[in-house]
Structure 1
Amino acid sequence: MFIFSWLNDQLLKMKWLSDLVKAFVENVLRLNVNTRVGGSIHFFIYDTIKIFILLSVLIFLISYIQSYFPPERTKKILGKIKGIKGNILGALLGTVTPFCSCSSIPIFIGFTSAGLPIGVTFSFLISSPLVDLASFLLLMSFFGLKIALAYVVVGLILAVIGGTLIDKLGLEKYVEGYVKEIENVDVEVPEMTRKDRIDYAKGQVRDIIKRVWIYILIGVGIGATIHNWIPQNVIENVVGGKNPFSVVLATIVGIPMYADIFGTLPIAEALFLKGVGIGTILSFMMAVTALSLPSMIMLSKVVKPKLLSIFVAIVSIGILIIGYLFNAVSYLFV
């Protein structure tokens, strides 16, 4: 246990980095980290460096694994399994694919045009931006193992249930006609060498960092503001336990935002340190990643309004249930 705790503190939470940044702020900038200004600067520098280090390493590792599951191969795997097993597999395969909902939608189109069951494709679409190994390890570095595991489990359950409901409702006819008419070419996937996989992983790191860096900086900035400038009682009254609608409010606030989980983590961390319920935090993160407005606009181009509305309703209700449930049993995670 000591070794695990040490590894978690030094490799994931990077306490050495926190101490280094503290020394920089106090000795070079001559600011006390216990003041608002000093604390904000420490929070911003420390979280920014930590996220970019972890993100680069984790994206490289996940992308290397992902190179074994290109869309063509994933389609073949999903096409062999039907029913609830297909939904579970779709959700699980979503954990080794793109890191935001917008980049998942082109793969969703490919799956649909290939004739995969609609429920399986939606399980994949829900899971893909919500859950992956990188988000799990980053969550663990911020909140610990219990909360990270809880997030992954509820994310997968939501993906499976959401896809299953859409399948049972028989909503295939509400996919735009042109999607089904796209010619599905069964391309043989060339075998990649180790060098190819390493080059692919490096490329993914560059590509994803370019896409998310601004959202990370914005998220860290908001997190630093919440943590050091907004009084505790204000947070508690708005999204704390004193407000019975905190989960609803967190979900509504999250939907218009566009970010992946990496951009939401600093905000979630600041809310957590202010005593906001874990269920409220999970609802906020899930709303941002699974129901962001830009991704819903993209999805509206490939599915008809009725299917889009049902999808949003199912995921929203699931997020609200998860939020209130986890707030009720938060004592198990803190």
Structure 2
Amino acid sequence: MIQKFADWLVYGIFGMGAHTHMGAAVNFFFYDTIKILILLFLISGLMGIVNAYFPIDRLRTFLTTRRLYGFQYFFASLFGAITPFCSCSSIPLFIGFVKGGIPLGVTFAFLITSPLVNEVAVAMFLGAFGLKATLIYTISGVLLGTIGGFVLEKFKLEKFLSPWVKQIQAQSEVETAQWEAEHISFAKRLPTIIKDAWGIVRGVLIYVIIGIGIGAAMHGFVPEGFFAEYLSADKWYSVPLAVILAVPMYANAAGIVPVIQVFVAKGVPLGTAIAFMMGVVGLSLPEATLLKKVMTWRLIGIFFGTVALFIILSGYLFNIVL
């Protein structure tokens, strides 16, 4: 429905050509902006209901005090793999986790894996590259989230969350305690939950617009051949270069698989191509722009640097194995 609306608005009302760079960029902008704002509102509202009725403090205590031997990161990463979100679409749920006080490393495990692996991308990858490459890609995506979440948790990064996040965390705890003490019915809680959800949408609106605007420009105007030209098989630096070149791009995993096919057909090693794919879907500039509302630049830098390092190491490993 959103795609049909974007097509009607851009190609029908605005009269832009569907096969032009500008038409593709503007269509992408309206589609992704509307989709992410709706997702953000719905997920924020859902997490508000969860925070109101589910003993989130018990879950937080359970995750922080029990010896789970790292399985909390694995399950968060696995949950990320089965949710069909791109990097920007994952952020509303990430905000909900942080708002509920879920440990930051666990939320990072979800945020890392969610854009990298989903069922559509896996199906497309299977058809394009076969079972062995698909298994390596899928398992590595889940492990990347698990290990990344574990490592980032050890850095104790909560102090680098933005004041806005700390404010909504405190507000959520106060409201939940008040509702439990006064036994307020769901009908009376709902207006406050909706108001809080809209407040979160309003708080990140400008970041959504800027982030998706960057992604739309890259999506519409940067040709795939520009990247394939610099990622030849005989260069030792091709894997880190692939990740660096991927960061300005923005696409979901399913959308980038056909581009990876073209790369491989032009002689780019599969491991380098997968590293580029992971960089595109997991380390995009639009994602960084959205995360700025949630994190300080220092935390964004630590997050991106850690994930980029793991992706680069994975790319070299893939080139050896595949």
**Match of 2:97?**
111
Q: 2:149 aligns with which of 155, 163, 182?
A: 163
Distance 1:78 1:287, change over 3 A: farther
| 1:142 matched to 2:128 | yes
> For residue 282 of structure 2, what is the amino acid of its counterpart?
A
Could you tell me the percent identity over the aligned residues?
38
Tell me the SS of whatever aligns to 2:235: coil
CA contact (8 A) 1:78 1:89 kept: no
For residues 185-235 of structure 1, what are the alpha-carbon distances to aligned partners after superposition, in whole Å with 9 as ceiling and x for unaligned? 77999xxxxxxxxxxxxxxxxxxxxx9xx98xx69x956xx5xxx9xxx95
Deviation of the 1:328 alpha carbon: 1.8
Q: 1:246 aligns with which of 238, 245, 253?
A: 238
> For residue 280 of structure 2, what is the amino acid of its counterpart?
V
> For residue 278 of structure 1, what is the amino acid of its counterpart?
L
Rounded to whole Å, the distance in 1 between the matches of 2:159 and 2:140 is: 29
For residues 5-60 of structure 1, what are the alpha-carbon distances to aligned partners after superposition, in whole Å with 9 as ceiling and x for unaligned? xxxxxxxxxxxxxxxxxxxxxxxxxxxxxxxxxxxxxxxxxxxxxxxxxxxxxxxx
For residues 84-142 of structure 1, what are the alpha-carbon distances to aligned partners after superposition, in whole Å with 9 as ceiling and x for unaligned? 11111110111232421111111111101101000000001111111122211111111
Rounded to whole Å, the distance in 2 between the matches of 1:75 and 1:266 is: 44
Rounded to whole Å, the distance in 1 between the matches of 2:55 and 2:109 is: 14
| 1:127 matched to 2:137 | no
Rounded to whole Å, the distance in 1 between the matches of 2:243 and 2:307 is: 11
**Match of 1:102?**
88
Distance 1:143 1:256, change over 3 A: same
Rounded to whole Å, the distance in 1 between the matches of 2:275 and 2:297 is: 24
Rounded to whole Å, the distance in 2 between the matches of 1:314 and 1:140 is: 28
Rounded to whole Å, the distance in 1 between the matches of 2:262 and 2:164 is: 44
Give me the TM-score of the superposition, normalised by structure 1. Answer: 0.61
State the Cα RMSD in Å. 3.5
Q: 2:262 aligns with which of 266, 270, 274?
A: 270
CA contact (8 A) 1:92 1:156 kept: yes
Rounded to whole Å, the distance in 1 between the matches of 2:274 and 2:126 is: 14
Rounded to whole Å, the distance in 1 between the matches of 2:81 and 2:299 is: 24
1:166-315 aligned at under 5 Å gives the runs 166-182=152-168, 183-184=171-172, 222=223, 226=225, 238-315=230-307
CA contact (8 A) 2:164 2:293 kept: no
> For residue 164 of structure 2, what is the amino acid of its counterpart?
Y
Deviation of the 1:178 alpha carbon: 2.1
Rounded to whole Å, the distance in 2 between the matches of 1:295 and 1:171 is: 19
CA contact (8 A) 1:78 1:86 kept: no
For residues 259-312 of structure 1, what are the alpha-carbon distances to aligned partners after superposition, in whole Å with 9 as ceiling and x for unaligned? 111221121001112232111011100000000000111111111122111101
CA contact (8 A) 1:240 1:275 kept: yes
Deviation of the 1:75 alpha carbon: 9.7
**Match of 2:200?**
none
**Match of 1:322?**
314
> For residue 101 of structure 2, what is the amino acid of its counterpart?
G
Tell me the SS of whatever aligns to 1:166: helix
Deviation of the 1:180 alpha carbon: 2.7
> For residue 301 of structure 2, what is the amino acid of its counterpart?
S
Q: 1:91 aligns with which of 49, 54, 77?
A: 77
Distance 1:96 1:89, change over 3 A: same
Rounded to whole Å, the distance in 1 between the matches of 2:119 and 2:139 is: 12
Rounded to whole Å, the distance in 2 between the matches of 1:118 and 1:311 is: 11
Aligned residues: 232
Distance 1:117 1:310, change over 3 A: same
> For residue 321 of structure 1, what is the amino acid of its counterpart?
L
**Match of 1:20?**
none
**Match of 1:17?**
none
